[in-house]
Structure 1
Amino acid sequence: MKTDPAGTPTEVDDKLLVNSVVKAFRVLEAFDNANRSLNLAQISASVGIDKSAAQRFTHTLNKLGYLHKDPVSKRFELSLKSLEMARHFIRANPVINQAMPYLLHLSRTTEETVNLTLPDGADIVFAARFMSRHMLNTDVVVGTRMPAFCTAPGRAILSRLSPGEARQLLGGAPLQAFTAHTVHNIDDLMRRLETAREIGYATAWGEFFPGDLSVASAIIDKDGRPVGAINIGVSNARYTPEKAEEIFGPLVTAAARSVSQGMPPPV
Protein backbone atom coordinates (compact mmCIF):
# COMPACT_ATOMS: atom_id res chain seq x y z
CA MET A 1 0.00 0.00 0.00
CA LYS A 2 1.32 3.41 -0.93
CA THR A 3 0.99 6.23 1.59
CA ASP A 4 1.92 9.86 1.86
CA PRO A 5 4.53 11.03 4.44
CA ALA A 6 1.85 11.04 7.18
CA GLY A 7 0.89 7.42 6.48
CA THR A 8 -2.36 8.38 4.77
CA PRO A 9 -3.48 6.10 1.89
CA THR A 10 -3.05 7.84 -1.46
CA GLU A 11 -5.25 7.93 -4.53
CA VAL A 12 -3.16 5.10 -6.00
CA ASP A 13 -5.01 2.78 -3.56
CA ASP A 14 -8.48 4.22 -4.08
CA LYS A 15 -9.42 6.27 -7.12
CA LEU A 16 -12.45 7.70 -5.29
CA LEU A 17 -10.36 8.92 -2.34
CA VAL A 18 -10.07 12.72 -2.15
CA ASN A 19 -6.64 13.31 -0.67
CA SER A 20 -7.33 16.93 0.22
CA VAL A 21 -10.26 15.84 2.40
CA VAL A 22 -8.11 13.19 4.06
CA LYS A 23 -5.43 15.77 4.85
CA ALA A 24 -7.96 18.30 6.13
CA PHE A 25 -9.15 15.75 8.68
CA ARG A 26 -5.54 14.92 9.53
CA VAL A 27 -5.07 18.60 10.37
CA LEU A 28 -8.01 18.45 12.77
CA GLU A 29 -6.74 15.18 14.28
CA ALA A 30 -3.38 16.81 15.04
CA PHE A 31 -4.99 18.58 17.98
CA ASP A 32 -5.42 16.72 21.26
CA ASN A 33 -4.97 17.23 24.99
CA ALA A 34 -1.18 17.30 24.56
CA ASN A 35 -1.38 19.64 21.57
CA ARG A 36 -4.14 22.08 22.39
CA SER A 37 -2.70 24.78 20.14
CA LEU A 38 -0.29 24.44 17.22
CA ASN A 39 1.52 26.75 14.85
CA LEU A 40 1.89 26.17 11.12
CA ALA A 41 5.27 24.48 11.43
CA GLN A 42 3.94 22.02 14.02
CA ILE A 43 0.87 21.24 11.92
CA SER A 44 3.06 20.76 8.86
CA ALA A 45 5.29 18.29 10.71
CA SER A 46 2.38 16.43 12.32
CA VAL A 47 0.37 15.96 9.13
CA GLY A 48 3.32 15.45 6.80
CA ILE A 49 2.61 18.34 4.44
CA ASP A 50 4.66 21.40 3.54
CA LYS A 51 4.10 24.72 5.27
CA SER A 52 2.32 26.22 2.28
CA ALA A 53 -0.24 23.39 2.25
CA ALA A 54 -0.64 23.66 6.03
CA GLN A 55 -1.41 27.35 5.59
CA ARG A 56 -4.12 26.64 2.99
CA PHE A 57 -5.75 23.90 5.07
CA THR A 58 -5.73 25.90 8.30
CA HIS A 59 -7.05 28.99 6.51
CA THR A 60 -9.94 26.98 5.04
CA LEU A 61 -10.78 25.27 8.33
CA ASN A 62 -10.62 28.61 10.10
CA LYS A 63 -13.04 30.14 7.57
CA LEU A 64 -15.39 27.18 8.03
CA GLY A 65 -15.27 27.70 11.78
CA TYR A 66 -13.58 24.43 12.80
CA LEU A 67 -10.29 26.07 13.79
CA HIS A 68 -9.71 29.24 15.76
CA LYS A 69 -6.63 31.35 15.03
CA ASP A 70 -5.18 33.52 17.76
CA PRO A 71 -4.62 36.97 16.20
CA VAL A 72 -1.51 37.61 18.30
CA SER A 73 0.33 34.28 18.51
CA LYS A 74 -0.96 33.04 15.11
CA ARG A 75 -1.45 29.62 16.70
CA PHE A 76 -4.47 27.46 15.91
CA GLU A 77 -6.79 25.45 18.12
CA LEU A 78 -10.03 23.54 17.68
CA SER A 79 -13.12 25.72 17.86
CA LEU A 80 -16.41 25.00 19.57
CA LYS A 81 -17.92 24.19 16.18
CA SER A 82 -15.84 21.01 16.11
CA LEU A 83 -18.17 19.69 18.83
CA GLU A 84 -21.14 19.85 16.48
CA MET A 85 -20.17 16.66 14.64
CA ALA A 86 -20.13 14.79 17.95
CA ARG A 87 -23.52 16.26 18.85
CA HIS A 88 -24.99 15.13 15.52
CA PHE A 89 -23.62 11.62 16.06
CA ILE A 90 -25.01 11.39 19.60
CA ARG A 91 -28.46 12.64 18.56
CA ALA A 92 -28.62 10.27 15.58
CA ASN A 93 -27.27 7.10 17.21
CA PRO A 94 -30.09 4.67 18.13
CA VAL A 95 -28.06 2.86 20.81
CA ILE A 96 -27.36 6.07 22.71
CA ASN A 97 -30.95 7.25 22.46
CA GLN A 98 -32.35 3.91 23.60
CA ALA A 99 -29.85 3.51 26.46
CA MET A 100 -29.97 6.99 27.96
CA PRO A 101 -32.98 6.50 30.30
CA TYR A 102 -31.46 3.29 31.67
CA LEU A 103 -28.05 4.89 32.19
CA LEU A 104 -29.67 7.73 34.09
CA HIS A 105 -31.65 5.30 36.24
CA LEU A 106 -28.53 3.29 37.08
CA SER A 107 -26.64 6.46 37.92
CA ARG A 108 -29.36 7.67 40.29
CA THR A 109 -29.96 4.34 42.01
CA THR A 110 -26.33 3.24 42.44
CA GLU A 111 -24.62 6.65 42.72
CA GLU A 112 -21.69 5.04 40.91
CA THR A 113 -20.08 5.81 37.56
CA VAL A 114 -22.16 4.46 34.68
CA ASN A 115 -20.95 4.33 31.07
CA LEU A 116 -22.17 3.45 27.61
CA THR A 117 -19.47 2.32 25.20
CA LEU A 118 -19.68 1.46 21.51
CA PRO A 119 -17.43 -0.98 19.63
CA ASP A 120 -14.98 0.15 16.96
CA GLY A 121 -12.91 -2.76 15.74
CA ALA A 122 -10.67 -3.97 18.56
CA ASP A 123 -11.46 -0.85 20.62
CA ILE A 124 -14.35 0.63 22.54
CA VAL A 125 -15.33 4.30 22.55
CA PHE A 126 -17.16 6.03 25.40
CA ALA A 127 -20.43 7.45 24.07
CA ALA A 128 -22.11 8.48 27.36
CA ARG A 129 -20.80 8.81 30.89
CA PHE A 130 -22.45 9.60 34.23
CA MET A 131 -19.78 10.33 36.80
CA SER A 132 -19.97 9.36 40.47
CA ARG A 133 -18.98 11.72 43.27
CA HIS A 134 -16.68 8.90 44.40
CA MET A 135 -14.76 8.76 41.14
CA LEU A 136 -11.23 10.17 41.36
CA ASN A 137 -10.15 9.50 37.75
CA THR A 138 -11.67 12.18 35.51
CA ASP A 139 -9.43 11.56 32.47
CA VAL A 140 -12.10 9.49 30.73
CA VAL A 141 -14.60 11.63 28.81
CA VAL A 142 -17.06 11.00 25.99
CA GLY A 143 -14.99 10.10 22.95
CA THR A 144 -12.24 8.35 24.91
CA ARG A 145 -10.99 5.22 23.18
CA MET A 146 -9.74 2.12 25.01
CA PRO A 147 -8.73 -1.40 23.96
CA ALA A 148 -11.55 -3.91 24.22
CA PHE A 149 -9.50 -6.86 25.46
CA CYS A 150 -8.69 -5.46 28.93
CA THR A 151 -11.90 -3.57 29.70
CA ALA A 152 -15.17 -5.00 30.98
CA PRO A 153 -17.38 -3.41 28.30
CA GLY A 154 -14.96 -4.51 25.60
CA ARG A 155 -15.02 -8.09 26.86
CA ALA A 156 -18.80 -8.00 27.15
CA ILE A 157 -19.03 -6.97 23.49
CA LEU A 158 -16.43 -9.53 22.37
CA SER A 159 -18.25 -12.27 24.28
CA ARG A 160 -21.31 -11.84 22.07
CA LEU A 161 -19.35 -12.42 18.88
CA SER A 162 -18.66 -15.90 17.60
CA PRO A 163 -15.48 -17.35 19.15
CA GLY A 164 -13.80 -17.26 15.75
CA GLU A 165 -14.59 -13.59 15.16
CA ALA A 166 -13.55 -12.65 18.69
CA ARG A 167 -10.25 -14.51 18.36
CA GLN A 168 -9.58 -12.84 15.00
CA LEU A 169 -10.13 -9.38 16.51
CA LEU A 170 -7.90 -10.18 19.47
CA GLY A 171 -5.24 -11.60 17.17
CA GLY A 172 -5.00 -8.32 15.30
CA ALA A 173 -4.84 -6.14 18.42
CA PRO A 174 -1.72 -5.12 20.35
CA LEU A 175 -2.27 -7.09 23.56
CA GLN A 176 -0.03 -5.25 25.99
CA ALA A 177 0.01 -5.24 29.79
CA PHE A 178 -1.21 -1.87 31.09
CA THR A 179 -1.01 -2.94 34.74
CA ALA A 180 0.31 -5.91 36.67
CA HIS A 181 -3.22 -7.39 36.48
CA THR A 182 -3.78 -7.12 32.71
CA VAL A 183 -4.74 -10.41 31.10
CA HIS A 184 -3.22 -10.30 27.63
CA ASN A 185 -2.84 -13.92 26.54
CA ILE A 186 -5.37 -14.79 23.83
CA ASP A 187 -6.24 -18.23 25.24
CA ASP A 188 -6.82 -16.76 28.71
CA LEU A 189 -8.94 -14.01 27.20
CA MET A 190 -11.03 -16.50 25.23
CA ARG A 191 -11.78 -18.38 28.44
CA ARG A 192 -12.95 -15.15 30.06
CA LEU A 193 -15.14 -14.41 27.05
CA GLU A 194 -16.72 -17.84 27.35
CA THR A 195 -17.51 -17.17 31.02
CA ALA A 196 -18.97 -13.77 30.15
CA ARG A 197 -21.11 -15.36 27.45
CA GLU A 198 -22.48 -17.88 29.96
CA ILE A 199 -23.28 -15.46 32.82
CA GLY A 200 -24.32 -12.45 30.73
CA TYR A 201 -21.71 -9.94 31.87
CA ALA A 202 -17.96 -9.39 31.90
CA THR A 203 -15.55 -8.07 34.51
CA ALA A 204 -12.14 -6.41 34.59
CA TRP A 205 -10.27 -5.81 37.84
CA GLY A 206 -7.64 -3.07 37.52
CA GLU A 207 -6.46 -4.16 34.08
CA PHE A 208 -6.35 -0.76 32.39
CA PHE A 209 -6.47 1.65 35.33
CA PRO A 210 -5.01 0.41 38.63
CA GLY A 211 -7.69 0.02 41.28
CA ASP A 212 -10.60 0.23 38.84
CA LEU A 213 -13.29 -2.44 39.16
CA SER A 214 -15.68 -2.69 36.24
CA VAL A 215 -18.71 -4.84 35.42
CA ALA A 216 -20.38 -4.67 31.99
CA SER A 217 -23.06 -6.29 29.86
CA ALA A 218 -23.49 -6.07 26.08
CA ILE A 219 -26.37 -4.48 24.18
CA ILE A 220 -27.56 -6.63 21.30
CA ASP A 221 -29.38 -5.49 18.15
CA LYS A 222 -32.25 -7.31 16.41
CA ASP A 223 -29.75 -9.37 14.41
CA GLY A 224 -28.03 -10.59 17.58
CA ARG A 225 -24.93 -8.46 17.05
CA PRO A 226 -23.31 -6.57 19.96
CA VAL A 227 -23.71 -2.82 19.37
CA GLY A 228 -22.61 -1.45 22.73
CA ALA A 229 -22.18 -2.17 26.42
CA ILE A 230 -23.31 -0.70 29.72
CA ASN A 231 -20.84 -0.79 32.56
CA ILE A 232 -20.55 0.36 36.15
CA GLY A 233 -17.11 1.26 37.43
CA VAL A 234 -16.07 1.54 41.08
CA SER A 235 -12.86 1.77 43.09
CA ASN A 236 -11.21 -1.12 44.91
CA ALA A 237 -10.91 1.25 47.86
CA ARG A 238 -14.67 0.89 48.36
CA TYR A 239 -15.47 -2.55 46.94
CA THR A 240 -13.90 -5.96 46.59
CA PRO A 241 -14.16 -7.57 43.14
CA GLU A 242 -16.55 -10.14 44.59
CA LYS A 243 -18.85 -7.50 46.06
CA ALA A 244 -18.78 -5.38 42.89
CA GLU A 245 -19.72 -8.42 40.80
CA GLU A 246 -22.45 -9.49 43.20
CA ILE A 247 -24.11 -6.06 43.29
CA PHE A 248 -23.59 -4.69 39.79
CA GLY A 249 -23.60 -7.84 37.63
CA PRO A 250 -27.41 -8.23 37.78
CA LEU A 251 -27.96 -4.48 37.36
CA VAL A 252 -25.93 -4.03 34.17
CA THR A 253 -27.32 -7.27 32.76
CA ALA A 254 -30.92 -6.17 33.31
CA ALA A 255 -30.25 -2.70 31.87
CA ALA A 256 -28.48 -4.05 28.78
CA ARG A 257 -31.26 -6.56 28.19
CA SER A 258 -33.91 -3.83 28.41
CA VAL A 259 -32.02 -1.63 25.96
CA SER A 260 -31.53 -4.58 23.60
CA GLN A 261 -35.24 -5.38 23.62
CA GLY A 262 -36.08 -1.81 22.66
CA MET A 263 -33.57 -1.51 19.83
CA PRO A 264 -35.13 -0.64 16.46
CA PRO A 265 -34.65 -3.00 13.52
CA PRO A 266 -31.45 -2.42 11.51
CA VAL A 267 -31.84 0.07 8.66
Structure 2
Amino acid sequence: MQVNQPSSILPADGADDAVEPSRNAEDRYFITALARGLEVLSCFRSADKGLTNQQIAERCGLPKSTVTRFTYTLTRLGYLVQDDETGRYGLGTATLGLGSAMLARLDIRQLARPMMQELADFSGTTVSIAVRDRLSMIYVEVCRSTAALSLSVQVGSRMPLAASAIGRAYLVRAPEQERKDIFERCHELDEMAYQSLRQGFDKALRDQAQYGCTTAFGEWQKEVNGIAVGFLPIGGNQIMAINCGGPSTSVSTDFLLNEVRPRLIEIAKRLES
Protein backbone atom coordinates (compact mmCIF):
# COMPACT_ATOMS: atom_id res chain seq x y z
CA MET A 1 0.00 0.00 0.00
CA GLN A 2 1.35 3.39 -0.96
CA VAL A 3 0.86 6.25 1.46
CA ASN A 4 0.70 9.79 0.13
CA GLN A 5 3.63 11.38 1.95
CA PRO A 6 3.37 15.08 2.80
CA SER A 7 5.96 17.57 1.72
CA SER A 8 9.07 17.79 3.89
CA ILE A 9 8.54 21.55 4.06
CA LEU A 10 5.90 22.22 6.68
CA PRO A 11 3.37 24.90 5.83
CA ALA A 12 2.99 27.96 7.97
CA ASP A 13 0.11 26.48 9.92
CA GLY A 14 2.44 23.80 11.31
CA ALA A 15 3.53 26.09 14.10
CA ASP A 16 0.29 25.61 16.01
CA ASP A 17 0.50 21.80 16.00
CA ALA A 18 2.40 21.65 19.28
CA VAL A 19 0.71 23.40 22.14
CA GLU A 20 -1.86 26.06 21.47
CA PRO A 21 -1.44 29.30 23.43
CA SER A 22 -3.65 29.12 26.48
CA ARG A 23 -7.08 30.61 26.05
CA ASN A 24 -7.38 30.48 29.82
CA ALA A 25 -5.54 28.95 32.74
CA GLU A 26 -7.43 25.65 32.43
CA ASP A 27 -6.22 25.15 28.82
CA ARG A 28 -2.48 25.33 29.49
CA TYR A 29 -2.17 21.55 29.04
CA PHE A 30 -4.27 21.45 25.88
CA ILE A 31 -2.29 19.93 22.98
CA THR A 32 -3.79 21.11 19.72
CA ALA A 33 -2.06 18.52 17.54
CA LEU A 34 -3.48 15.64 19.58
CA ALA A 35 -6.96 17.17 19.54
CA ARG A 36 -6.83 17.64 15.79
CA GLY A 37 -5.64 14.10 15.19
CA LEU A 38 -8.57 12.77 17.20
CA GLU A 39 -10.91 15.06 15.27
CA VAL A 40 -9.68 13.46 12.05
CA LEU A 41 -10.45 9.98 13.35
CA SER A 42 -13.83 11.07 14.67
CA CYS A 43 -15.01 12.56 11.38
CA PHE A 44 -15.46 9.14 9.77
CA ARG A 45 -19.01 7.75 9.64
CA SER A 46 -20.28 4.20 9.18
CA ALA A 47 -21.76 5.06 5.78
CA ASP A 48 -18.52 6.49 4.38
CA LYS A 49 -16.88 4.59 1.52
CA GLY A 50 -13.67 6.49 2.13
CA LEU A 51 -12.67 10.13 2.48
CA THR A 52 -10.13 12.28 0.67
CA ASN A 53 -7.88 14.73 2.47
CA GLN A 54 -10.08 17.54 1.14
CA GLN A 55 -13.26 15.95 2.53
CA ILE A 56 -11.61 15.38 5.91
CA ALA A 57 -10.41 18.99 5.92
CA GLU A 58 -13.95 20.23 5.26
CA ARG A 59 -15.47 18.09 7.99
CA CYS A 60 -12.86 19.07 10.57
CA GLY A 61 -12.50 22.71 9.54
CA LEU A 62 -8.75 22.30 9.08
CA PRO A 63 -6.34 23.31 6.30
CA LYS A 64 -5.79 20.52 3.80
CA SER A 65 -2.02 20.71 4.34
CA THR A 66 -2.52 20.01 8.05
CA VAL A 67 -4.87 17.12 7.32
CA THR A 68 -2.35 15.63 4.90
CA ARG A 69 0.22 15.36 7.68
CA PHE A 70 -2.30 13.84 10.07
CA THR A 71 -3.58 11.23 7.61
CA TYR A 72 -0.01 10.26 6.73
CA THR A 73 0.90 9.79 10.39
CA LEU A 74 -2.32 7.97 11.29
CA THR A 75 -1.87 5.65 8.31
CA ARG A 76 1.67 4.82 9.38
CA LEU A 77 0.31 3.92 12.83
CA GLY A 78 -2.53 1.79 11.47
CA TYR A 79 -5.38 4.04 12.57
CA LEU A 80 -6.19 4.82 8.94
CA VAL A 81 -5.80 2.81 5.74
CA GLN A 82 -5.51 4.23 2.24
CA ASP A 83 -7.08 2.68 -0.82
CA ASP A 84 -4.40 2.14 -3.47
CA GLU A 85 -6.78 2.89 -6.35
CA THR A 86 -8.79 5.85 -5.09
CA GLY A 87 -6.37 7.31 -2.56
CA ARG A 88 -9.25 7.64 -0.10
CA TYR A 89 -8.82 6.94 3.58
CA GLY A 90 -10.82 4.70 5.90
CA LEU A 91 -10.50 3.66 9.53
CA GLY A 92 -7.77 1.09 10.17
CA THR A 93 -7.71 -1.92 12.45
CA ALA A 94 -5.83 -0.02 15.18
CA THR A 95 -9.04 1.83 15.97
CA LEU A 96 -10.65 -1.49 16.93
CA GLY A 97 -8.50 -1.58 20.03
CA LEU A 98 -9.83 1.75 21.18
CA GLY A 99 -13.45 0.90 20.42
CA SER A 100 -13.40 -2.62 21.87
CA ALA A 101 -11.75 -1.40 25.08
CA MET A 102 -14.50 1.17 25.51
CA LEU A 103 -17.32 -1.24 24.72
CA ALA A 104 -15.86 -3.82 27.10
CA ARG A 105 -16.31 -1.30 29.91
CA LEU A 106 -19.97 -0.85 29.08
CA ASP A 107 -21.12 -3.95 30.95
CA ILE A 108 -24.45 -2.22 31.38
CA ARG A 109 -25.28 -3.30 27.82
CA GLN A 110 -25.39 -6.95 28.85
CA LEU A 111 -27.76 -6.14 31.68
CA ALA A 112 -29.90 -3.89 29.50
CA ARG A 113 -30.18 -6.07 26.40
CA PRO A 114 -32.93 -8.48 27.60
CA MET A 115 -35.06 -5.61 28.92
CA MET A 116 -34.51 -3.59 25.76
CA GLN A 117 -35.48 -6.51 23.52
CA GLU A 118 -38.60 -7.19 25.56
CA LEU A 119 -39.69 -3.56 25.20
CA ALA A 120 -38.86 -3.55 21.49
CA ASP A 121 -40.99 -6.66 20.92
CA PHE A 122 -43.85 -5.28 22.99
CA SER A 123 -43.90 -1.91 21.27
CA GLY A 124 -42.83 -2.83 17.74
CA THR A 125 -40.10 -0.21 17.97
CA THR A 126 -36.33 0.16 18.11
CA VAL A 127 -34.84 0.57 21.59
CA SER A 128 -31.31 1.97 21.90
CA ILE A 129 -28.71 3.16 24.39
CA ALA A 130 -26.31 5.97 23.52
CA VAL A 131 -23.46 7.98 25.00
CA ARG A 132 -22.38 11.52 24.11
CA ASP A 133 -19.55 12.34 21.74
CA ARG A 134 -19.10 16.13 21.59
CA LEU A 135 -22.31 17.51 20.03
CA SER A 136 -23.93 14.23 19.12
CA MET A 137 -24.97 10.90 20.62
CA ILE A 138 -23.49 7.57 19.54
CA TYR A 139 -25.49 4.35 19.85
CA VAL A 140 -23.69 1.61 21.80
CA GLU A 141 -26.57 -0.90 21.92
CA VAL A 142 -29.60 -1.37 19.66
CA CYS A 143 -32.51 -3.82 19.89
CA ARG A 144 -35.18 -4.08 17.21
CA SER A 145 -38.60 -5.63 17.10
CA THR A 146 -39.61 -8.12 14.45
CA ALA A 147 -41.99 -5.56 13.01
CA ALA A 148 -41.66 -4.96 9.28
CA LEU A 149 -41.15 -1.25 9.88
CA SER A 150 -38.32 -0.28 12.20
CA LEU A 151 -35.63 2.37 12.36
CA SER A 152 -32.45 1.52 10.48
CA VAL A 153 -30.09 2.67 13.22
CA GLN A 154 -27.18 0.53 14.37
CA VAL A 155 -24.36 0.55 16.89
CA GLY A 156 -22.13 3.46 15.92
CA SER A 157 -24.93 5.56 14.44
CA ARG A 158 -25.04 9.19 15.53
CA MET A 159 -27.93 11.35 16.65
CA PRO A 160 -28.01 15.13 17.14
CA LEU A 161 -28.17 16.45 20.66
CA ALA A 162 -30.66 19.20 19.82
CA ALA A 163 -33.35 17.46 17.75
CA SER A 164 -33.37 13.89 19.04
CA ALA A 165 -35.16 12.61 22.13
CA ILE A 166 -32.06 10.69 23.23
CA GLY A 167 -29.85 13.77 22.89
CA ARG A 168 -32.28 15.86 24.89
CA ALA A 169 -32.53 13.19 27.57
CA TYR A 170 -28.77 13.31 27.95
CA LEU A 171 -28.76 17.10 28.25
CA VAL A 172 -31.41 17.01 30.96
CA ARG A 173 -29.48 14.47 33.03
CA ALA A 174 -25.97 15.83 32.42
CA PRO A 175 -24.22 17.81 35.20
CA GLU A 176 -24.61 21.57 34.96
CA GLN A 177 -20.94 22.18 34.16
CA GLU A 178 -21.01 19.66 31.33
CA ARG A 179 -24.10 21.31 29.85
CA LYS A 180 -22.37 24.67 30.08
CA ASP A 181 -19.36 23.30 28.21
CA ILE A 182 -21.61 21.81 25.53
CA PHE A 183 -23.46 25.09 25.01
CA GLU A 184 -20.22 27.08 24.87
CA ARG A 185 -18.66 24.68 22.37
CA CYS A 186 -21.74 24.78 20.17
CA HIS A 187 -21.92 28.58 20.35
CA GLU A 188 -18.30 28.83 19.21
CA LEU A 189 -18.95 26.62 16.20
CA ASP A 190 -22.34 27.76 14.93
CA GLU A 191 -24.75 30.42 16.22
CA MET A 192 -27.78 28.85 14.53
CA ALA A 193 -26.92 25.39 15.87
CA TYR A 194 -26.54 26.93 19.32
CA GLN A 195 -30.01 28.46 19.17
CA SER A 196 -31.43 25.11 18.07
CA LEU A 197 -29.65 23.38 20.94
CA ARG A 198 -31.01 25.87 23.48
CA GLN A 199 -34.54 25.46 22.13
CA GLY A 200 -34.22 21.69 22.23
CA PHE A 201 -33.00 21.81 25.82
CA ASP A 202 -35.83 24.13 26.90
CA LYS A 203 -38.36 21.72 25.39
CA ALA A 204 -36.58 18.81 27.08
CA LEU A 205 -36.98 20.46 30.48
CA ARG A 206 -40.70 20.92 29.87
CA ASP A 207 -41.12 17.33 28.71
CA GLN A 208 -39.14 15.98 31.64
CA ALA A 209 -41.29 17.88 34.09
CA GLN A 210 -44.52 16.74 32.44
CA TYR A 211 -43.73 13.18 31.38
CA GLY A 212 -40.58 12.09 33.19
CA CYS A 213 -38.89 11.64 29.79
CA THR A 214 -37.96 13.67 26.73
CA THR A 215 -39.72 13.53 23.38
CA ALA A 216 -39.10 14.18 19.70
CA PHE A 217 -42.19 13.76 17.58
CA GLY A 218 -41.26 14.44 13.97
CA GLU A 219 -38.37 16.72 14.95
CA TRP A 220 -35.31 14.55 14.28
CA GLN A 221 -36.97 13.16 11.17
CA LYS A 222 -40.41 14.18 10.01
CA GLU A 223 -41.86 10.67 10.11
CA VAL A 224 -40.18 9.39 13.28
CA ASN A 225 -41.48 9.52 16.86
CA GLY A 226 -39.35 8.85 19.91
CA ILE A 227 -39.04 9.21 23.67
CA ALA A 228 -35.96 8.86 25.87
CA VAL A 229 -34.67 8.83 29.44
CA GLY A 230 -31.21 9.70 30.75
CA PHE A 231 -29.56 7.60 33.46
CA LEU A 232 -26.28 7.00 35.28
CA PRO A 233 -25.55 3.26 34.99
CA ILE A 234 -24.74 1.09 37.98
CA GLY A 235 -21.14 1.60 39.02
CA GLY A 236 -20.57 3.98 36.12
CA ASN A 237 -19.34 7.53 35.89
CA GLN A 238 -20.71 8.46 32.47
CA ILE A 239 -24.29 9.51 31.81
CA MET A 240 -26.12 7.45 29.18
CA ALA A 241 -29.56 7.67 27.64
CA ILE A 242 -32.04 5.09 26.43
CA ASN A 243 -34.70 5.73 23.82
CA CYS A 244 -37.59 4.02 22.10
CA GLY A 245 -38.79 5.09 18.68
CA GLY A 246 -40.26 4.14 15.36
CA PRO A 247 -42.08 5.37 12.25
CA SER A 248 -44.98 7.69 13.09
CA THR A 249 -47.21 5.62 10.80
CA SER A 250 -46.99 2.68 13.19
CA VAL A 251 -45.91 4.25 16.49
CA SER A 252 -48.20 7.05 17.63
CA THR A 253 -47.37 9.69 20.21
CA ASP A 254 -50.23 8.48 22.42
CA PHE A 255 -48.93 4.92 22.36
CA LEU A 256 -45.41 6.03 23.25
CA LEU A 257 -46.54 8.28 26.08
CA ASN A 258 -49.25 6.05 27.53
CA GLU A 259 -47.99 2.51 26.96
CA VAL A 260 -44.25 2.67 26.33
CA ARG A 261 -43.18 5.55 28.58
CA PRO A 262 -43.78 3.80 31.96
CA ARG A 263 -41.83 0.75 30.78
CA LEU A 264 -38.93 2.84 29.46
CA ILE A 265 -38.70 4.80 32.71
CA GLU A 266 -38.71 1.56 34.67
CA ILE A 267 -35.85 0.14 32.59
CA ALA A 268 -33.80 3.28 33.20
CA LYS A 269 -34.42 2.97 36.94
CA ARG A 270 -33.36 -0.68 36.95
CA LEU A 271 -30.17 0.15 35.06
CA GLU A 272 -29.37 2.83 37.59
CA SER A 273 -29.94 0.97 40.85
TM over 0.5: yes
* Secondary structure of 2:244 counterpart: strand
- Retained in 2: the 8 A contact 1:125–1:146? yes
Task: Determine the C-alpha separation between the residues in 2 that align with 1:25 and 1:18.
Answer: 11
- Shift of residue 30 of structure 1? 4.7
Alpha-carbon distance change, 214 to 122 in structure 1, aligned in 2, over 3 angstroms:
same
* Secondary structure of 1:11 counterpart: coil
- 2:272 is matched with 260
- Retained in 1: the 8 A contact 2:113–2:143? no
- 1:112 is matched with 125
Query: 4+ residue runs of structure 1 moved beyond 6 angstroms?
Result: 164-167, 222-226
Task: Determine the C-alpha separation between the residues in 2 that align with 1:249 and 1:232.
Answer: 9
- Shift of residue 87 of structure 1? 2.1
Bigger Cα displacement from structure 2, 98-107 vs 14-23: 14-23
> How far does the alpha carbon of each residue in 1:57-110 deviate from its partner, in whole angstroms, 9 at most, with x for none?
434322332222223444332234434422221111244344233223333444
- 1:218 is matched with 230
* Secondary structure of 2:209 counterpart: helix
Task: Determine the C-alpha separation between the residues in 1 that align with 2:132 and 2:207.
Answer: 18
Task: Determine the C-alpha separation between the residues in 1 that align with 2:199 and 2:57.
Answer: 37
* Secondary structure of 2:148 counterpart: coil
Task: Determine the C-alpha separation between the residues in 2 that align with 1:160 and 1:134.
Answer: 33
Task: Determine the C-alpha separation between the residues in 2 that align with 1:232 and 1:187.
Answer: 21
- Shift of residue 136 of structure 1? 5.3
- 1:147 is matched with 160
- 2:221 is matched with 209
Q: Does 1:231 align with 2:243?
A: yes
Q: Which runs of 5+ in 2 are unaligned?
A: 1-12, 187-193
Alpha-carbon distance change, 217 to 58 in structure 1, aligned in 2, over 3 angstroms:
closer
| Greater helix proportion | 2
Alpha-carbon distance change, 155 to 226 in structure 1, aligned in 2, over 3 angstroms:
farther
- 1:192 is matched with 207
- 2:196 is matched with 176
Q: Does 1:134 align with 2:154?
A: no
Task: Determine the C-alpha separation between the residues in 2 that align with 1:114 and 1:93.
Answer: 17
Q: Does 1:93 align with 2:106?
A: yes
- Retained in 1: the 8 A contact 2:79–2:91? yes
Read off the aligned partner of 2:138 and give its amino acid letter.
V
- Shift of residue 191 of structure 1? 2.5
Q: Does 1:48 align with 2:63?
A: yes
- Retained in 1: the 8 A contact 2:232–2:238? yes
Task: Determine the C-alpha separation between the residues in 1 that align with 2:83 and 2:180.
Answer: 47
Read off the aligned partner of 1:144 and give its amino acid letter.
S
* Secondary structure of 1:210 counterpart: coil
Task: Determine the C-alpha separation between the residues in 1 that align with 2:72 and 2:200.
Answer: 48
Residue identity (%): 24
Bigger Cα displacement from structure 2, 233-242 vs 36-45: 36-45
Q: Which runs of 5+ in 1 are unaligned?
A: 178-182, 262-267
Report how many aligned residue pairs link the two structures.
Answer: 245
Read off the aligned partner of 1:190 and give its amino acid letter.
L
* Secondary structure of 2:159 counterpart: strand
> How far does the alpha carbon of each residue in 1:186-231 deviate from its partner, in whole angstroms, 9 at most, with x for none?
65553223213xxx33322111111211122232357999822222
- Retained in 1: the 8 A contact 2:213–2:227? yes
Q: What RMSD over aligned residues (CA atoms) do the two structures have, in Å?
A: 3.9
Say which of 75, 80, 86 aligns to 1:67: 80
